[in-house]
Structure 1
């Protein structure tokens, strides 16, 4: 579950990063559009003030300025349309970023809970292992050194399980059911002879429930 949550978080984080870049680009585009509109409006206002002040009296100049004012009005209309389009795109980009960040926060919360639960489980296992290790010392007293060496080597190789109970003719390590010939062979061996599983090589512990 933790691996899945981490994979989900990475995917969302990548998407959020791309969404922030798109949002920031649109923010710059909006500011540029605002500045462009304001610049044209400033020019139109200046020209209008010159005409209203009577500073321009030549009919040709007045006609030319009126044409320029009309052109500026059209330019402002185009720029304002572009400005509105960019604003709408920016609003959508901001919404996308907010949504992805909310998803990230949710995944982070779930990940924190999962990691906390795992830590608690690991601590529990460590405590149990410490208890088993404490019990192992007295239990191993008197065992032949070569047998303990073999057991430790197998435990390291087999994921912590060097010996397994033989129950109902089945190895408790690999779950292999021994064939009748192997059962007969084990039955004929002395009780103190070390028996190993043919499949996984673990030491087989014989009991009254082994089915021998």
Structure 2
């Protein structure tokens, strides 16, 4: 392929713009905020699980406390009924003794239930402390995630603006180049490396390899408008006054 030396040198401007676009894309994919968000989301899930666990424990203890309250109330009601019976007149001695024995049993049962209730209430208080702490940590994790997302969005907006600007710069450069040269350049660039680079001091600007003597001789013998490619990386080598030929 042949192209005017001026067109080939203009290709370097396109390569510079594309290199900047690649750097923008790399910064977009490697934003530190992305790793922060991933870690913040992990912490947020853990904090949510902690809150759910504490809430579940609190509900279980609340049900147990309610059950004990019902049991204590039942014992009290039974004891009150027995007390009323004992206070009645003409109660046989055996029945009175049985009622007195039951009242003593009920008193012991009430004491056991109240002790158990007190223990469960203490557990519930500790769980509430844990729940309050877990909810505070959850709120902190939510704020951290929101902050990282806000910073990510700001960085993305800046990168998108920079990308849009470079793409605007790219259009007139491409329009001013021969279509077949652009097609070759884009084909090379699609493989992942630079499409074109300056040949500077006998080194390929794309892969940084120094050319051997035979390659230098071939380049010296090539016509000025011949489009040269490096055998190693395939990039178009653009000759300038800095090529060292």
TM over 0.5: yes
Query: TM-score, normalising length from structure 1?
Result: 0.80
Q: Does residue 124 in structure 1 map to residue 155 in structure 2?
A: no
Match of 1:89 in 2: 123
Provide closer, same or farther for how the CA distance between residues 202 and 64 of structure 1 changes in structure 2, counting only shifts above 3 A. farther
Provide closer, same or farther for how the CA distance between residues 88 and 66 of structure 1 changes in structure 2, counting only shifts above 3 A. same
Q: Is the 8 A contact 1:33 1:83 kept in 2?
A: yes
Structure 2 counterpart of 1:185, from 200, 215, 222 = 215
Match of 2:81 in 1: 46
Provide closer, same or farther for how the CA distance between residues 141 and 32 of structure 1 changes in structure 2, counting only shifts above 3 A. same
Paired with 1:99 and 1:114, the residues of 2 have a C-alpha distance of 23
Q: Is the 8 A contact 2:204 2:211 kept in 1?
A: no
State the 1:170 CA deviation: 7.1
Paired with 1:56 and 1:208, the residues of 2 have a C-alpha distance of 130
Q: What's the C-alpha RMSD, in Å, of the aligned pairs?
A: 3.0
Query: TM-score, normalising length from structure 2?
Result: 0.70
State the 1:2 CA deviation: 0.8
Q: Which runs of 5+ in 1 are unaligned?
A: none
Q: Does residue 35 in structure 1 map to residue 70 in structure 2?
A: yes
The number of residues matched between the two structures is 204
Q: Which runs of 5+ in 2 are unaligned?
A: 1-35
Match of 1:17 in 2: 52
Q: Does residue 70 in structure 1 map to residue 100 in structure 2?
A: no
Paired with 1:151 and 1:73, the residues of 2 have a C-alpha distance of 96
SS of the residue 1:198 aligns to: coil
Match of 2:114 in 1: 80
Paired with 1:178 and 1:155, the residues of 2 have a C-alpha distance of 18
Paired with 2:78 and 2:169, the residues of 1 have a C-alpha distance of 91
Q: Does residue 100 in structure 1 map to residue 134 in structure 2?
A: yes
